[in-house]
Structure 1
Amino acid sequence: MTDAPMPDGLTPERLAYVEQVANFWQAGGLGHAAGAILGYLTVCEPAAQTQAEIASALGLSAGTVSTQLRTLAGVEMVEKVRRMGVRTHFYQLPQDMWVRLIGSEDRRIAGLRELADAGIAVMPATRHDRIASLEQMVRFFEHEWPLLSKRLEEFLRKEAS
């Protein structure tokens, strides 16, 4: 493949990357369109794009893009930004979004702790593993996640210097 830009500004290689990201997130439970938007916002120039630009580049309907942008903004994977003197909203990945996303695991682990504790209170008579395995996994991450988070912070600090 050549590196020549396509009419929408994407090279074939970048478009293939967008599809790879879309497939990754789709396999993880996110919609294909949401994954494609994440992939596109990872490699597009400029980094902030309008809803119409995203829809055009990806061949998606305005409604699909609007719905998926709301979903992605709700989980802080996309942010809406304004430009002075421009009425249109632009969308981009937040600064250091991937690091922040991993950092939000503390909240997820705490939420899973609440679910495990509530499940223990209503433990079914059969197949205790349905709750016991959740509680066991939560205990593991409660112990290991702070250690891993600290190592990540140290790594990022070294990378920045």
Structure 2
Amino acid sequence: MTDDKASHDLTPERLAYVERVADYWQAGGLGHAAGAILGYLSVCEPAAQTQAEIASALGLSAGTVSTQLRNLAGVEMVEKVRRMGVRTHFYQLPQDMWVRLIGSEDRRIAGLRELADMGADVMPATRHDRIVSLDQMVRFFEHEWPLLSKRLEEFLRKEES
């Protein structure tokens, strides 16, 4: 990221936050640029920014930002929005994106169940743990996730009241 950030309302504290988010997601395999975009879209004003504004604020190339926005939109972590009378697209974090992202875990658990079941049909002769541990983990989350999800809903309801 470049020193051009002051013109984009990135205070030193906000910049530190953007960097921390970028580092977090990079460690998780998403990539530094994607994480920086998530961090920036979490604290920028206004909340919706153009691709060019994001690239300029973060000192990233237009191609990098375009690719990462497409990837983030594909996993519903960023959404493209339009403004009446403006041809340019704007990008923002969807409303309550973090809650919705966690809520979509049901689909991932179901997908892992399918993989575990298919793996059981082709169990390798050695190191069964490669499939068995997947099945164990899926069984755990199949049991625990609905309970945790219900607790999250209750927590959020209390937070809103």
TM-score (norm 2): 0.96
Following superposition, which runs of at least 4 residues in structure 1 exceed 6 angstroms of deviation?
none
Structure 1 residues 1-161: aligned runs within 5 Å:
6-161=6-161
CA distance in 2, matches of 1:6, 1:57: 8
Percent same amino acid among aligned pairs? 90
CA distance in 2, matches of 1:97, 1:159: 16
CA distance in 2, matches of 1:86, 1:134: 49
CA distance in 2, matches of 1:108, 1:25: 19
Q: Which residue identity lines up with residue 7 of structure 2 in the other structure?
A: P
Displacement after TM superposition at 1:52 (Å):
0.2
CA distance in 1, matches of 2:136, 2:55: 43
Q: Secondary structure at the match of 1:7?
A: helix
CA distance in 2, matches of 1:69, 1:87: 18
RMSD: 0.8
CA distance in 1, matches of 2:14, 2:49: 16
Displacement after TM superposition at 1:31 (Å):
1.0
Q: Secondary structure at the match of 2:94?
A: coil
Q: Which residue identity lines up with residue 33 of structure 1 in the other structure?
A: A
Q: Secondary structure at the match of 2:8?
A: coil
Return 5+ residue gaps in structure 1 as ranges.
none
Q: Secondary structure at the match of 2:80?
A: strand
Q: Which residue identity lines up with residue 107 of structure 2 in the other structure?
A: R
Give the aligned length.
157
Return 5+ residue gaps in structure 2 as ranges.
none
Q: Which residue identity lines up with residue 34 of structure 2 in the other structure?
A: A
CA distance in 2, matches of 1:6, 1:87: 26
Q: Secondary structure at the match of 1:84?
A: coil
CA distance in 1, matches of 2:154, 2:57: 38
Q: Which residue identity lines up with residue 48 of structure 1 in the other structure?
A: A
CA distance in 2, matches of 1:11, 1:82: 27
